[in-house]
Amino acid sequence: AQSVTQLGSHVSVSEGALVLLRCNYSSSVPPYLFWYVQYPNQGLQLLLKYTTGATLVKGINGFEAEFKKSETSFHLTKPSAHMSDAAEYFCAAGEGNKLVFGAGTILRVKS
């Protein structure tokens, strides 16, 4: 069964600094991969997804993620953090008709 690991339950960065949120999946066959963001008192919103093709995927709000098969990773990055990026971020992998979610990483942005 697929599992998704997000390293670091909390990440803190300064405004303007690089954001790096880590995600690794377990399956030997590369799955479809997603990043979602959750703001307080809201549902999850899709940031970006990787299905096939280009391994560098661009999403909304300036985020991007790179699929690396050799490392079974799909890390999320943003060159310059904004205060509005403070939220919880979830990595997910497709398994059959379901998504397997990681435990989430709370991003704090310091002014």
Partner 1 sequence: DAGVIQSPRHEVTEMGQEVTLRCKPISGHNSLFWYRQTMMRGLELLIYFNNNVPIDDSGMPEDRFSAKMPNASFSTLKIQPSEPRDSAVYFCASSLAQGASNQPQHFGDGTRLSIL
Tell me which residues touch partner 1 (CB under 8 A). Answer: 31-32, 34, 36, 41-46, 49, 51, 90, 94-99, 101, 103-104
Place of tokens 């990043």: 35
Burial class (CB within 10 angstroms; exposed 0-12, middle 13-18, buried 19+) of 5: middle
- Closest contact distance (angstroms) between CB of 80 and partner 1 is 26
Instruction: Pick the closer one to partner 1 by CB: 81 or 100.
Output: 100
- Closest contact distance (angstroms) between CB of 12 and partner 1 is 19
Instruction: Pick the closer one to partner 1 by CB: 81 or 105.
Output: 105
Handedness of CA 40, 9, 68, 56 (dihedral sign): positive
Can you tell me the distance from the alpha carbon of 14 to that of 31, in angstroms, rounded to the nearest whole number? 33
Instruction: Pick the closer one to partner 1 by CB: 75 or 94.
Output: 94
Closest CA relative to residue 13, chosen from 75, 104, 92, 106: 106
Instruction: Pick the closer one to partner 1 by CB: 31 or 81.
Output: 31
Phi, psi (degrees; rounded to nearest 5) at 72: 45, 50
- Closest contact distance (angstroms) between CB of 101 and partner 1 is 5
